[in-house]
Structure 1
Amino acid sequence: MPDVDPYFAQTLRRLRLDRGLSLRDLGRLAHRAKSHLHELETGRKQPSTEVAHHLDQVLDANGRLASLVAASTSDRDEAEALELLRLADASGVGADVLDHIERAVDDLASGYATTRPTDLLPQVRQALAQIGRLLGSRCTLEQHRRLLVAGGWLALLRATVHIDLRQRAAADRHLAAAAQLAGHAEHREIQAWCLETRAWEVLTGGDYRRALDLSRQAQAVAPRGSSAYIQATAQEGRAWARMGHRRETRSALDRVARLASPLPPPDRPEHHYRYDPGKALSYTATTLAWVGDPAAERYAREVVADLDGAGRPRRTASARLDLGLALLAAGKPDEASAVAEAAITSGRVVASNWWRATEVVTRVEGTGISEARDLRDAYETYRPYR
């Protein structure tokens, strides 16, 4: 069991007091002994992920407690990442084991779109640990390379989940591990995805020029026409949009359209590292909304209509935020407030994407409409961090 995170204890106590609950009240609602809750609040006991999830539900905390449990393992993250790289330098792994691992990698990458980050992280960690053990065993050069590639994809996915949880140090470590594993395996697409992922991270942090540079580096590294190449091109368009350069934004979108149009639908369109041509419409809506292009509203409405009921709640929430931004540009703040509130109260806007909700809420408030107060209340209630 990892060391107890004192911030978890403080956060649990604050959430309980904010809701006017005594320890006895919380124990009754959560079906937990008062003494157990007292130990959690005083930092004497480390909660399990399951307990943290349950308390999140009881306290309407939108995953904050569970994310802190995941964050408390960050010290162990560094040791795991370093151990994985140490074992990668070593050179019986059967074909059936490798096939199983590669299927598991695809399953986890496909589950990213629908699984909460706090639920996905332990699954990715477990799979990486298995690969680490196998890298230390005897295997052929080809088997070793397949393990390196699988480890590279998983380290990249793990970094992405850490970004979603706003765990920057852990994300940095695993992005570096993914890049080094990809270098060992001479796998250019993973290397490009590492650059693209970093571009997205700095874009959400407001460093648009660096995001542009990283997107271009990713395109230079990626195999031409690969998923990483297309995604990095789309990321370039987003960076131009955030800087307000309409001509360059449109040029990037046109390039994405040309690259994606001849592609057949992938077998698993939800796979995070396989470009789905169906996503092109979503990227167009997002990018045009950010640059303030009037055409954004039409694209954004079409994306929301396509996603409603499609079982992709995270993408649907993001699409509604895009639509809200487009509606504001079109002078429709009332509807913008309504669709943004629907996105926020869905509980599917991850922490790393919360800045998009902040932007819509702030702009709605700037219009002075009465609905802005309800939108702000929803924003504060569902905000994944304080």
Structure 2
Amino acid sequence: MRSERDARGWSQADAVRVMRAKSSSNLPTDSTLLRNWRRWESGESRPDDFYAPIIAAAFDTVTAAFFPKARPNRDDELLSATGMDTLEFLGRLRISDVSSVTLEAIRITAERLCCDYSCADPHELHAEGTAWLRRITSLLDGRLTLSQHREILVLAGWVALLVGCVDFDLGRRTASEATRRAAYSLGQEAEHAEITCWAAELAAWAALTQGNYRGVIDTVDPMLEVSRSLRVGVQLTAQRAKAWARLGERREAEAALADGRAILERLDHPANLDNHFVIDAQKFDFYAMDCCRVAGEDRLAESYAREVIRNATRADGSVRNPMRVSEAHLTLAVVAVRNRDLEMALDEGMRAFAGKRRSLPSLVWIAGEAAREMIERYPGDPRTRVYTDQLRSLSIE
């Protein structure tokens, strides 16, 4: 709470006033709120379920991101869930045995693939995802009940989305677009709004990294109404906010972020935060970080970036979300350049490039924005040349 308050240049009394302005309920006197704030900020006590959403709103974020709950343990071992090992599972798929146990095994496999997205080697994940997509879709030619047919369409849709995302990360735009269209068709046939919305989100992501900001908005807008009760709605509004920010429309960007925040607040906390297609509340800081950086709100951008890095780093120092961390380091690089500290900017930029798991189009896009800041302020400095040479060395297949 203190670091967020400091990033905005607020006193504790200022924070209390903003908190009151964000509340739709009657609150105690300012002196009482100020005493509570001091206790909360010192760690003496924790805000309860009434105050936590108001405090989160005061900092333009969501409750689950500002006051995160412990991540639940999950046991998704195929054997423990179904009684089958992988060899038996594959044998059943070969003979098109679509029993309830086989469907459960496919669900577990699709979930595992989506959970591997952030950290697995992208080439290996792509190969595995493609193989499973073929196996799952081959079942559609067998004898199925209507409910089985729909569920296999849905599971194939999720795996197709995953493969499309990995294709995109590897710079294979044509392949990514083909797989995205397949996922969209599977979602339409299954009448599964979340899959069709995610397919649209992937198109918006591609348009964003190509600088087609109006295209992002045109892609997202038709999906807004249907996605307002879905987690993908948060991601769609985030892409919309990023596009508006780069078009210089700050109010539109803030409104889009507010829409995403409202969706998150209405939804329950997800059981599995590792799944790429499950939006966790802490990712909201990642969206806000991008918009603040583009808008020139450097103190807030830096605060969000450090929070993104902290939330993405496990207790043992390993990184849970390396792609988010890379963009956070690029944000810190931009802030450092604007503060006339090119040495720190170069250091943060090199950290961003060092990540092994990365989305090349996104990384090149954000790193390019950082390069423009460096070239504008330090056009002839050898350190700028080191950074731009490293950026040029990022190869896209």
Q: TM over 0.5, yes or no? A: yes
Deviations along 1:148-197, whole A, 9 cap, x unmatched?
Answer: 00111111211111111221221121111111111111111111111111
SS at match of 2:282: helix
Is 1:360 matched with 2:364? no
SS at match of 2:311: helix
Contact 1:300 1:326 in 2 (8 A): no
Query: Hey, what's the Cα distance between the residues in 1 that align with 2:308 and 2:184?
Result: 33
Aligned to 1:372: 384
Aligned to 1:63: none
Is 1:252 matched with 2:267? no
Is 1:234 matched with 2:238? yes
Superposed counterparts of 1:232-381, under 5 Å? 232-294=236-298, 295-308=300-313, 309=317, 310-353=319-362, 354-368=364-378, 369-381=381-393
Q: 254-263 or 187-196: which moved more?
A: 254-263
SS at match of 1:220: coil
Match of 2:182 among 177, 180, 183: 177
Query: Hey, what's the Cα distance between the residues in 1 that align with 2:386 and 2:212?
Result: 31
**Letter matched to residue 232 of structure 1:** L
Match of 1:103 among 100, 105, 108: 108
Query: Hey, what's the Cα distance between the residues in 1 that align with 2:385 and 2:171?
Result: 27
Q: 284-293 or 258-267: which moved more?
A: 258-267
Aligned to 2:396: 385
Query: Hey, what's the Cα distance between the residues in 1 that align with 2:325 and 2:229?
Result: 27
The Cα of 1:378 is off from its aligned counterpart by 3.3
Query: Hey, what's the Cα distance between the residues in 1 that align with 2:392 and 2:174?
Result: 26
Query: Hey, what's the Cα distance between the residues in 1 that align with 2:336 and 2:258?
Result: 23
Query: Hey, what's the Cα distance between the residues in 1 that align with 2:126 and 2:214?
Result: 30
SS at match of 1:112: coil
Contact 1:218 1:228 in 2 (8 A): no
Query: Hey, what's the Cα distance between the residues in 2 that align with 1:183 and 1:378?
Result: 42
Contact 1:234 1:252 in 2 (8 A): yes
Across the two proteins, how many residue pairs are aligned to each other? 294
TM-score (norm 2): 0.69
The 1:326/1:221 distance shift into structure 2, 3 A limit, reads farther
Deviations along 1:341-379, whole A, 9 cap, x unmatched?
Answer: 111123443322222122213322332244323323433
Aligned to 2:68: none
Query: Hey, what's the Cα distance between the residues in 2 that align with 1:251 and 1:218?
Result: 16
Aligned to 2:161: 156
Is 1:211 matched with 2:229? no
The 1:261/1:221 distance shift into structure 2, 3 A limit, reads closer
SS at match of 2:147: helix
**Letter matched to residue 384 of structure 1:** S
The 1:314/1:186 distance shift into structure 2, 3 A limit, reads same
Is 1:135 matched with 2:140? yes
Q: Taking CA–CA contacts closer than 8 Å with sequence separation of 6 or more, which of the two structures ends up with the larger relative contact order?
A: 2
RMSD: 2.1
The Cα of 1:140 is off from its aligned counterpart by 0.5
Superposed counterparts of 1:78-93, under 5 Å? 92-93=97-98
Query: Hey, what's the Cα distance between the residues in 2 that align with 1:348 and 1:365?
Result: 27
The Cα of 1:221 is off from its aligned counterpart by 3.2
Query: Hey, what's the Cα distance between the residues in 2 that align with 1:103 and 1:349?
Result: 25
Aligned to 1:6: none
Which structure's residues are more often helix, by fraction? 1
The Cα of 1:251 is off from its aligned counterpart by 1.4
Query: Hey, what's the Cα distance between the residues in 2 that align with 1:116 and 1:289?
Result: 29
Contact 2:213 2:246 in 1 (8 A): yes
**Letter matched to residue 396 of structure 2:** Y
TM-score (norm 1): 0.71
Q: Identity of counterpart residues, as a percentage?
A: 31
The Cα of 1:263 is off from its aligned counterpart by 4.0
Contact 1:264 1:277 in 2 (8 A): no
Aligned to 2:23: none
The 1:327/1:259 distance shift into structure 2, 3 A limit, reads farther
Query: Hey, what's the Cα distance between the residues in 2 that align with 1:232 and 1:296?
Result: 21
**Letter matched to residue 386 of structure 2:** D
**Letter matched to residue 143 of structure 2:** R
Query: Hey, what's the Cα distance between the residues in 1 that align with 2:386 and 2:108?
Result: 45
The 1:200/1:371 distance shift into structure 2, 3 A limit, reads same
Contact 1:337 1:361 in 2 (8 A): no
SS at match of 1:158: helix
The Cα of 1:380 is off from its aligned counterpart by 4.2
The 1:334/1:246 distance shift into structure 2, 3 A limit, reads farther
